[in-house]
Amino acid sequence: MAGFSVTPGRPILLNCPACGGSITLRAAGHSVTAVCAYCGSLLDVNRPELRIIEQSHEAARRPLITIGLRARFEDQPWEVIGYQEKSIGGLATEVPLMLQTFLSQKDSWQEYLLFNPYHGFRFLSQADGHWTLHRVVKGAKHLPKNQIFQRFSAGMATVDYVLGEFYWRVKKGDRAQISDSIAPPYVLSVEKTGDEINTAIGTYLAATEVAAAFGMDRNRLPKTRGVAPHQPSPFAARLPGILRIALAALAIATAIQLLQAFGSDGKVIHTESFDIATETPELTHVSPPFGVAGGSANLCLASQVNLDNDWAELEASLVNEATGETRTATLGMEYYSGIEDDERWSEGNPRASACFPAVSQGMYRLVLEADGGAFHTGQPGSRFFMVEVKRDVPIWSNWTALLLALLPYPGYLWLRHRGFESARWSGAE
Amino acid sequence: MREFACPACGAPGTFQSGISVYAVCAYCRSMVLRRDAGVEAFGKMAVLPPDMSPLQIGSRGVFEGLSFALVGRHKIGWSDGTWNEWFMATDDGRKGWLAEAQGFFAVCFELPWVSDGRTAVNRDLGHWKPVPGEQVNVGLRLFTVVDLKEAMVLGGEGELPAVTPCGKKYRVIDLETSDGGFASIEPAGQQARRVYLGRYTEWGELHIENPRSLEGW
């Protein structure tokens, strides 16, 4: 072999026996096949005397990542030494390529062979902008623990193009039966060629990670399209964290709520009931003064009225006897019913409630201004109002509001996750 | 350790392992056979083709608590490539080999010689036609045949425990277990010429000291 490099570790330079071009051998001792970058001839570099396996006069393609570049993966440097283009799902190679593109959907991808003299080989593949680092494994030792792999796809893969050097005999048109199982971010590939079976474990890499590993600009790498079989769902990753936060917030709110509920007595401290004649209504009713005890807490009114296909309203003012401070709430009640198509219907509620927050202790009066449909008709009759005044009533509305506020985001993530998974599996067989 | 002077060129050499039977002179590549009374030269060893191995004669390591030193190497070739078999001198005197192929390392030990191959391999080696996928007991474990090769020694260096003529073809049956176990059987007629038993390992697990220095790596 002429032109040996004597320094261990340095690439060995050879001359292509077909075109005389210079060939750089980066994994001497391992490499068996090499492709001349100038004439594309396939060479046997297994033995010192180079042999042409297949002569060619085709100018080499330029892969996205140039052969000879180094990247850092698994905390080790790796050198790109080989490049393959492969496809799966095509028809038999006898069918002309033109027809193949018409007749069948062909999934194609690119595969870079990476070499490190201490750690062997890795494969870096790229399909639709999605990157995967594969490692051939011997035995189960390097398989990720506690993962359940689901069968995803299987098919016959064909080598469509080769460049660089390889530690096995490779050539255009080589075929292998491959089957993929997934447990995102991992893909387990079993490749069968003749009697040989190789198992490789692949890990999904974001394009930004690949760009960083090569120290290149992300924009030089292709945009990702669609969902890769083993691409981790970005929503699934976020969902448990979000759910945990939401559940924690809900648990804290529930605890506070329950503590308050147990601490509140919700006792009726005063009841006011009065009749108003409909013909000559006295619409204002003032209660006798009543005492409110126990520091600052809420004060709630619950009203009720006898209604039949009518409405009524109480404008309730709570007046502090000592300060004259007044707070007002409106209690609206209505009740309609009838029979339509032999069906009884009813709507509205003859009851209403309202709360005043943080009412301090003291003497109070209720001033109630009534109104209602019946008071405007002049028909004889009466409306009987009853108002209960309760002190320190547990309020659930804040808790319910929190629940409603917390649910949508995890729900949204869950729906997006479902969408992502269905996009993933739409590509499966 | 036994020192000698190369009978062909007079350069100094050593036998570090008691089980080595010959050595390749580092200067003139003469093959030096070990005799009770002295040494004898018997031809020249081919120059080894360059490779990217991170190992060299003089590298030391520890595998599963066992210290070893690499004292010799065979380069083996087959139709689809080459691999290295490094002879490991160990304290326990077993014949250990560190195989280096396709970026994988495997450490295996030669099973003690048995006159009948069946003692270690549950097959009649004289008539066995192994097929990939076939399951075979080697030693106490069940292995699967993964590969059948016609191999030959392309060259060697350092000291070695068996004289294997360069260029002579022999059969190799490679076997694996699902948990990374590795075995290799070299049948010769009715007998197994050699049976190796071990497992795949990796660089970090070998704790290599004094590795070969590789420029740029």
Whether residue A28 and residue B49 make contact (CB cut-off 8 A), yes or no, is yes
pTM to 2 decimal places: 0.78
Task: Establish if A28 touches chain B: CB-CB under 8 angstroms.
Answer: yes
**To the nearest whole number, what is the mean pLDDT of chain A?**
89
- What distance in Å separates the CA atoms of residue A374 and residue A275, rounded to the nearest whole number? 13
Residues A288, A171 share a domain: no
Number of folded domains that form chain A: 3
Of A8, A46, A77, the CB nearest to B212: A8
Residue B53 pLDDT class (50, 70, 90 cuts): very high
Task: Establish if A324 touches chain B: CB-CB under 8 angstroms.
Answer: no
**To the nearest whole number, what is the mean pLDDT of chain B?**
88
Quote the minimal CA–CA distance from B212 to chain A in Å.
8
Residue A39 lies in a domain: no
Residue A7 lies in a domain: no
pLDDT per position as a tens digit, B15-35? 988 889 899 999 999 999 988
Residue A40 lies in a domain: no
Residues A196, A134 share a domain: yes
Q: Which residues of B touch A1 (CB under 8 A)?
A: 49-50
Cα within 13 Å of Cα(A306), Cβ side: 10
- What distance in Å separates the CA atoms of residue A291 and residue A269, rounded to the nearest whole number? 8
Residues A137, A168 share a domain: yes
pLDDT of residue A216: 94
pLDDT of residue A105: 56
Residues A302, A228 share a domain: no
Residue A28 lies in a domain: no
Interhelix angle A234-263/A397-406, nearest 10 degrees: 170
* Secondary structure percentages of chain A, helix, strand, coil, to 5: 20, 45, 35
Q: Is A161 within 8 Å of A42 (Cβ atoms)?
A: no
Residues A320, A299 share a domain: yes
Contacts of A97 (CB under 8 A, 6+ apart): none
**Is the predicted pLDDT of residue A5 greater than 60, yes or no?**
no
Whether residue A32 and residue B146 make contact (CB cut-off 8 A), yes or no, is no
**In chain B, which residue's Cα lies nearest the Cα of A198?**
B146
> Of the ranges A13-27, A165-179, B111-125, B128-142, which one carries the lowest mean pLDDT score?
B111-125
Strands A382-391 and A267-277: antiparallel
Whether residue B81 and residue A30 make contact (CB cut-off 8 A), yes or no, is yes
For residues B61-71, average pLDDT:
95
Residue B150 pLDDT class (50, 70, 90 cuts): very high
Strands A343-349 and A326-340: antiparallel
pLDDT of residue A50: 85
pLDDT per position as a tens digit, B89-139? 998 888 899 999 999 999 999 887 555 545 577 787 778 889 988 999 887
pLDDT of residue B114: 57
Q: Which residues of A touch B148 (CB under 8 A)?
A: 195
Whether residue B77 and residue A46 make contact (CB cut-off 8 A), yes or no, is yes
- Interface predicted TM-score (ipTM) of this complex, two decimals: 0.92
Of B82, B178, B182, the CB nearest to A29: B82
What amino acid is encoded at B125 in this protein? L
Q: Which residues of B touch A7 (CB under 8 A)?
A: 215
Residue A196 pLDDT class (50, 70, 90 cuts): confident
Number of A–B residue contacts, CB under 8 Å: 102
Chain B interface, Cβ < 8 Å to A: 49-54, 77, 80-82, 84, 102-104, 131-133, 146-148, 176-182, 199-200, 202-203, 212-217
Residue A26 lies in a domain: no
pLDDT per position as a tens digit, A341-377? 888 999 999 999 999 998 999 999 999 999 999 898 8
Contacts of A348 (CB under 8 A, 6+ apart): A307, A311, A333, A334, A335, A336
Residues A323, A222 share a domain: no
Of B82, B84, B177, the CB nearest to A46: B82
Of A1, A4, A117, the CB nearest to B52: A117
Residues A168, A286 share a domain: no
Residues A99, A70 share a domain: yes
Q: Which two tokens stand for residue A328?
A: 């007002």
Q: Which CATH class is domain B2-44?
A: mainly beta
A413 membership: H or E segment, kind and range: helix A408-426
- What distance in Å separates the CA atoms of residue B21 and residue B160, rounded to the nearest whole number? 6
pLDDT per position as a tens digit, A293-346? 888 888 999 999 999 899 999 999 999 999 999 999 999 999 999 998 888 999
Residues A94, A214 share a domain: yes
Whether residue A196 and residue B147 make contact (CB cut-off 8 A), yes or no, is yes
- The CATH number for A376's domain is 2.60.120.380
Quote the minimal CA–CA distance from A25 to chain B in Å.
10
Quote the minimal CA–CA distance from B115 to chain A in Å.
31
> In this structure, which long-range contacts are made by residues B39-45, counting pairs with CB atoms below 8 Å and at least 24 apart in sequence?
B39/B4, B39/B5, B39/B6, B39/B7, B40/B7, B41/B6, B41/B7, B41/B8, B45/B155, B45/B156, B45/B157, B45/B166
pLDDT of residue B169: 87
Residue A93 pLDDT class (50, 70, 90 cuts): very low
Owning domain of residue A198: 61-232
Whether residue A169 and residue B179 make contact (CB cut-off 8 A), yes or no, is no
**In chain B, which residue's Cα lies nearest the Cα of A11?**
B52
Residues A214, A70 share a domain: yes
Whether residue B52 and residue A120 make contact (CB cut-off 8 A), yes or no, is no
**In chain B, which residue's Cα lies nearest the Cα of A195?**
B132
Please count the helices (runs of H) and the strands (runs of E) in chain A: 5, 24
Residues A196, A68 share a domain: yes
- What distance in Å separates the CA atoms of residue B169 and residue B153, rounded to the nearest whole number? 8
Q: What SS3 class is residue B8?
A: coil
For residues A265-292, average pLDDT:
90
Residue A85 lies in a domain: yes
Cα within 13 Å of Cα(B126), Cβ side: 3
Residues A319, A190 share a domain: no
- What distance in Å separates the CA atoms of residue A228 and residue A222, rounded to the nearest whole number? 14
Sign of torsion, CA A194 A198 A199 A204? negative
**Is the predicted pLDDT of residue A1 greater than 50, yes or no?**
no
Residue A5 lies in a domain: no
- What distance in Å separates the CA atoms of residue B117 and residue B183, rounded to the nearest whole number? 14
Residue A53 lies in a domain: no
The 3-class secondary structure across B66-101, one letter per residue, is: EEEEEEEEEEEEECCEEEEEEEEEECCCCCEEEEEE
A255 membership: H or E segment, kind and range: helix A234-263
